[in-house]
Structure 1
């Protein structure tokens, strides 16, 4: 493994962060805020350590599988480390553990927070906090595809796991074309949502921050009460629309805009994803109304936002769900587990795998009835490869194992069962809020430091995917 290649590409990662840190510094500088020095020093550190490898390390045309995987995993870890620098230098609620947790939560687009007074933060820090979402969301799709080569026709593991085989049919282009498509869609959605939010009364600063968080399916808000602070139906509808779009495959969005065959309306996976969200909205709405929690329209309003928010792994909130009927909480927990589609900015289990699992379950039930028959699972008329079915089952088993292990560790620290359970699944799925002490309008501040560290590892596993971490460990051996 050539260390020079790894160092050079990690320099690109640092420079990317340095650009956004410098923008955050400018905001803080012109507003004469207390975070100016912290952001400037952080930007300089990224700039200096990022530019030197680009200048002094020779460029290479070939990157091996091992080098590519190492670059991606180390790139994410280094990004999270430099991301915590402005938090630490500024101070406030940011202890070492809290700064690390907030940084990892931002870049992995989880959206869990340790902050109890978000609105007291300088605008420069708030912008950086939202930027970590946007960098993380675009980074996992664009940066990885940009730096990993197609060596001798071999598909690289990161590419295969980030963009599932079911979704890959929507990317019938070379790597450069894919990067271009995703960048255009990502930036366009961000700009469109920013404008739409401003039309409905949100100021520019809040609009760009919430757009960063929405399109990245992150969930960080500039307000303590998240979207509930605005109490504006128009803003909620705009955010719901863009959460659904961001939870879908970006290749399908591009195909829809360009009137191509592979588009949102013709994809059975996309239609199923939206249908499941609508069923969830209906079930939660009816339960909230029939239980007398809210009137019908209010039930529909709150149910729609919370189901879509969790089902796309965004994590925004318009109401605290801690006192909702247990049936509605179970439905919301399901959406926390399900996650959004591959090819979107979301992490976690991915809806694709849930889709494959139920297809496989249906096939096994048919085999019980007709043991000598041969059944083939299909997606949009195409056969689902048996190898993909096997990988899906293995991944789900590993995912559940990590979830249970995290829950056990948290309960061993005297954290109550529902908090431990929901915090574990919410961080592993890169969703953000859970229930009880970490509910939709709550935070993770009360958890012990070691618990925060364990959950931050969960976030990285959910974002990078368990297979990639295991592959890196095997490389090192």
Structure 2
């Protein structure tokens, strides 16, 4: 077996050994809620991947350390493998409920969907990729342990994608180095990857705790606050209620979640620097400026479309913080409330939902939200999408190239991207990488749209084109907002292409393509 494959096997084994900690830790939740019947499924979910991981680790213990390309293969195969093993609790608990094993309650319609292993894998993939699209019809009827498991997969997946960017995808070009090397302070968070990852975990834990307390003070029950804080900060979007955040019908909860989702949208080196007292990075860092600017412009556009489209005109009086809004004031307030929440939820790739987007919202409103999902926010954060830094590179780079027509060939020009000064050669490299990633992103997006157009009902009794574009953008952008297409009755072909969209979107395409190239041409091509 080629040495490259041995390195991949050993590190994949390490990932599976680490994954086994998750179902083991979740047994505490099962015990707290006295859901004893879920313990056998959690035990299997812990033992099987640990055994496979131990075998891989021991078999290839002498493998050499992987290079960057091997690391991409490890990331892609690791995410896919964990997604498959993460389905075990869903299938196992559903079977226990169906058979009445271990004192399990009767099988309900929501859990019955997970008797289909593909639905369970979809739910697990959606969690670990931070997408939030779900096969659960009524999330509030899930066992508390599975509610936790879904939130836990998104929370770990959120940290995982930051670590992925740090350890594997950090490379010059297209902002991939933004986690490891910020625009405002061109140095690593810490001099080693291990200490960097440790710092990321501490920041993530701190923000999670603060988010839980804030949501609890805003009126959510403790269990709801824990789960929504975890999935909100990780910009995953799984909920434990049927109608996501709309269930609470609370403007205060909506507005409290805005900064939580925004926290997950900012590159984590900036969080580190802010916690160190370097507050100037809020406006000095290119990506952070673009995040706030993009959010502001997008919210304004969506609010305007909702208001002029009279979506919320004629609504009942709304009371917020002791102030009552009626008539036109109520329409403006509701347009701002729902427009701001849904745009930030989309651009941060969180996927919390407070409005029926596929219902009374116009095609233009849906496309604005779709654009937000495609673009995303900062590289080095928990979001999906193409990333704002790539959009900035493409727009500023194109303008730089066009303006070059008016300069003599002998002119020496320097391109500025934030505080960075790039030569023409450096700009070419970054511009090409941003263009390639964006092009490939578009290719997979079109693939998903084409499949859905073929397999889902269209027309007056089905879905419109904007619904399909919205749903595929949500899957590939790892967002989770839905117009009603995603569900257990969705055609199998649509589920399979969404699995590909979620996988590609989470890993920023290149690791998946590197892995597929390795599969078809042999992993020996990656000797470094």
TM-score of the pair, normalised by structure 2: 0.82
Paired position in structure 2 for 1:383: 421
Distance verdict in 2 for CA 1:370–1:446, change over 3 Å: farther
Q: Establish whether residue 205 from structure 1 lines up as the match of residue 241 from structure 2.
A: no
Q: For 1:248 and 1:403, how far apart are their aligned partners in 2?
A: 24
Matches within 5 A, 1:68-147: 68-91=71-94, 92-94=112-114, 95-142=116-163, 145=166
- Cα shift at 1:81: 0.8
Change (3 A) 1:370 1:64: closer
Query: Contact 1:158–1:468 at 8 Å: present in 2 too?
Result: no
Task: Note the 1:239-250 alignment, pairs <5 A.
Answer: 239-250=257-268
Deviations along 1:217-267, one digit per CA (max 9) or x if unpaired, are 101000111011112223222211011111010101111111238722321
Please state whether the residue corresponding to 2:20 is helix, strand or coil. Answer: helix
Contact 1:165 1:388 in 2 (8 A): no
Corresponding residue for residue 67 of structure 2: 64
Query: Does structure 1 conserve the Cα–Cα contact (< 8 Å) formed by 2:373 and 2:474?
Result: yes
Alignment of 1:249-398 (within 5 A): 249-260=267-278, 263-294=281-312, 295-322=331-358, 323-370=360-407, 372=409, 375-384=413-422, 385-386=426-427, 387-398=429-440
Displacement of 1:37: 2.6
- Unmatched runs of 5 consecutive residues or more in structure 2: 95-111, 313-330, 459-464, 522-528
SS in 1 for 2:284: coil
1:143-184 CA deviation, whole Å, 9 max, x = no partner?
A: 674xx5xxxxxxx55666896245543242422332233222
**Structure 2 vs 1, CA of residues 69 and 169 (structure 1 numbering), >3 Å: closer, same or farther?**
closer
Judge which range, 383-392 or 296-305, deviates more.
383-392
Name the structure 2 match of 1:403: 445
Contact 1:253 1:264 (C-alpha < 8 Å) held by counterparts: no
The 3 A distance-change label for structure 1 pair 32 and 159 is farther
Rg comparison, structure with higher value: 2
C-alpha distance 290-424 of structure 1, shift in aligned 2 (>3 A): closer
Change (3 A) 1:233 1:366: same
Q: Which runs of 5+ in 1 are unaligned?
A: 149-155
Which residue number corresponds to residue 463 of structure 1?
506
Instruction: Please say if residues 162 and 342 of structure 1, whose CA atoms lie closer than 8 Å, have aligned partners that are also in contact.
Output: no
Q: Residues 112-164 of structure 1, C-alpha deviation per residue, up to 9 Å, x if partnerless? A: 1121111111000111111110111111222674xx5xxxxxxx556668962
The Cα offsets for residues 26-74 of structure 1, whole Å up to 9 and x where unpaired, read as: 3224433343332232122233334455567636673334432332222
Partner secondary structure for residue 265 of structure 1 = helix
Partner residue of 2:480 out of 426, 432, 457: 432
Say whether the 8 Å CA contact 1:87–1:99 is kept in structure 2. yes
Bigger shift: 329-338 or 288-297? 288-297
Q: CA deviation at 1:293?
A: 2.1
CA separation of 1:246/1:404 partners in 2, compared to 1, >3 Å: closer, same or farther?
same
Which of 47, 51, 66 is matched with 1:48 structurally?
51
Give the 3 Å change call, closer, same or farther, for CA 257–234 of structure 1 in structure 2.
Answer: same
- Structure 2 CA distance, aligned partners of 1:167 and 1:69? 17
Aligned residues: 463
Structure 1, 275-284 or 413-422: larger mean CA deviation: 413-422
Map of 1:31 onto structure 2: 33
Shift of 1:303: 0.9
Alpha carbons 2:175, 2:390 under 8 Å: kept: no
- Distance in 2, matches of 1:31 and 1:309, equals 31
Distance 1:164 1:258 in 2: 23
The answer as to whether partners of 1:69 and 1:158 remain within 8 angstroms in 2 is no
Following superposition, the deviation at residue 17 of structure 1 comes to: 2.4
Aligned counterpart in structure 1 of residue 24 of structure 2, from 5, 22, 25? 22
Q: Which stretch shifts more, 98-107 or 165-174?
A: 165-174
